Every structure is written in C-alpha cells, then in structure tokens.
Amino acid sequence: MKKMLFFWAAYLLFFAIAFPCILYYGLGYPVDDVDRVAPRWGWLLLALSIALWAVPAWAYVWTLLVAPFRARARSHAIQRAAIRRRARVVNAQDTGRQMRGWPVWNLTLAFDNLSGTPIQDEMLAVDSKPQLQRFAVGNTVDALLSDDPGRYPNLLLEAAMPEVDHARVIRRGVIGVLLLALLLGYYAWSWRDQGQGQGWTFLQLWHPLIVMPASLCFYLLLGWLFTRVVGIDRRAEALNYRGIGTEARVVQVRETGTEINQRPQFEFSLAFEDRQGRTHAATVRKVFSLLDLGRVPRERARILYHPDDPSQVSMPDP
C-alpha cells in the first residue's frame, strides 16, 4: 500500500513540479523583451504566485506539523469526557512502526456509538504490553468516545497515554524548511537570471512559479472533493459516531457513471422512519467494490441518520 502511495505521489508531483519546468524552459525561455509584461502586472503576478504557494505551505504545516499536537489535545479532551465503551477487536495489523520501542497496531474495533448503534472504526494503538496479546482478534478492550465527534481522533483506548512523535515532527519541520529554502532560491535565481534589471516583468501565467503552486492547489481541491465523495471527511465521521441505525426502504437505485479506483458509485433514493415515527426521504451515494456488487441493496438498506438532522444519512459498508 505504501509503495502505491509513494508511486502516485511521485507521479502527481512530476506533473505539478517537473513537467511545467520542462515545458517552460524548453519552449518559453529565455524571455524576449516583446513578451515581457508591464511592471505593475509583474508585481501582481508575483503576488498571485506567493498567494498560491501559501496554500500548500499552510496545508503542509497544518496537517504534518500542527496536527499531531491537535490530536494529542483532543485525546486529552476525550479522556476527560470519559464516554466508555467495550470494543471488540475485529482486525489487527502490525504497521511495522514503533514508538519508544513498542509496536504500533492498526486496529478495527466494533462498539456502540453515542446513539447506541453498533459501528466499526479503525485506530492506531501502541502496544506497551505485547506479552499480554491484548489486541488479538476477538478480544475486548476498554475504549473512550469523543463527545464531539468529527475531527480526528474520535476513539481512544482507555489506558492510552497520548504522545507526540517529536522525532517525526522534527524531520517534517526540517524537510519543510529545506523545501522553503529551495523555493526562495528559485525565486532569487529567476529574478536574477530572467529579470535582467527589469524586475518581475518576465512573469507570465504559464511560468513555473505560478503553474506549480496552482497545480498543487488543484490537487488539494481534488483531495478534498475525494474525501467528500467517499465519505471519509469530518462530517461523515461525526455522522458515524452520532448516527442512529435503522432500516430504510430502497425506492430507487442507479449507477451514477462515476468510478473511484475502478469501483462503481451507486445512488440510492431511500425512505425511512425515525425514532419518533416520522417519515423521511434521503439520497445517498456509495461506492462498491466489484466483489460486492451482488450485495448492493435493492429493497432494504441499513443506514445511519443524524438524530438532530435526519436529512444527514449514510450507508455503512455491507
């Protein structure tokens, strides 16, 4: 799995970083005087370039440097809320990572959510007592739920001691500083090599200093849309932890024509009753693997709806 992620990351970065440089320096370099823009447009394009670069820089800092500390603070809040559940280990995989010499496991746990509906979710857990084999499939563990689900994490083992892998954060910080130094060096080299005493008049919309950050922003937008489509965003997590389970009648089902990782997406028109006996209609889109096509609901479907807003509906995996 990691090899595939590295492959796709390298593939996308090639088209975002290397490919614009190959095209520009192969076709549009050096800049002729007649192709230069007015000085005020050069400054505006420079501001646009900096603004575009600020978006992936913010995403890097927020998700790779700040997120571990936010997760630790949220873990302490979960411990203070102390909403306890007995969770059964459905699956356990050794990630191959270690923290302070202890193995890190990826666990799939089954438990009752805040509304008492049985659900499953995954979490990372450090096994500080491997000799006890606490995470063997079928065992039960004491877990804590967040009283405000949505942001990661929403689930915590009761005996957990939330920590931040400072070594990993420092490595990410060093990499970020090096990337920033490379970017500033590229700005300086471009200004000296292409400015030729005329400032930023060499900038064009197709210059790598604009195309590269614009491509990265486009990737971030696609990633955000992808999480929304497949239901792994904050809103879907909150619904999973708060939702009330019930059975809905399938009014209509159709293929949307969209495929995600060669898995077709279906749209379901549903009708269901809430706990007060009121009838609601909802539309849910869900992606199924080719192996699960025979399990696509045609008449009845198990769903989760938000207790405060029944228009928010999700369909758990079959």
What pLDDT, in 10s, does the model give residues 31-80? 887 788 999 999 999 999 999 999 999 999 999 999 999 999 999 999 99
Residue 214: inside a domain, yes or no? no
Bridge-based pairing state of the strands 244-260 and 263-273: antiparallel
Residue 266: inside a domain, yes or no? yes
The CA angle 237-240-246, to the nearest 5 degrees, is 160
DSSP state of 148: S
Determine what percent of the chain is predicted with pLDDT higher than 70: 97
Run of H or E residues at 225: helix 208-230
Say if residue 30 is preceded by a cis peptide, omega within 30 of 0.
yes
CA–CA distance, 235 with 239 (Å, rounded to integer) = 6
CA–CA distance, 103 with 100 (Å, rounded to integer) = 9
Residue 292: inside a domain, yes or no? yes
Amino acid at 95: T
How many domains is the chain built from? 1
Residue 270: inside a domain, yes or no? yes
Strand, helix or coil for residue 281: strand
CA–CA distance, 151 with 168 (Å, rounded to integer) = 21
Residue 256: inside a domain, yes or no? yes
Residue 61: inside a domain, yes or no? no
CA–CA distance, 56 with 39 (Å, rounded to integer) = 27
CATH number for the domain spanning 291: value is 2.40.50
Residue 167: inside a domain, yes or no? no
CA–CA distance, 151 with 67 (Å, rounded to integer) = 10
pLDDT, averaged across the chain: 89
CA–CA distance, 307 with 316 (Å, rounded to integer) = 16
Please check the confidence at residue 305 and state whether its pLDDT lies above 60: yes
User: Model confidence over 150-181: pLDDT tens digits?
Assistant: 888 899 998 888 888 888 999 999 999 999 99
Strand, helix or coil for residue 32: coil
Predicted local distance difference test score (pLDDT) of residue 231: 66
Residue 119: inside a domain, yes or no? no
Predicted local distance difference test score (pLDDT) of residue 202: 92
Q: Which structural domain range is residue 255 located in? A: 243-314
Strand, helix or coil for residue 298: coil
Give the residue with greater pLDDT, 129 vs 4: 129
Give the residue with greater pLDDT, 231 vs 104: 104
Strand partners, 120: 110
Is there a contact between 88 and 154 (Cβ–Cβ < 8 Å)?
A: no
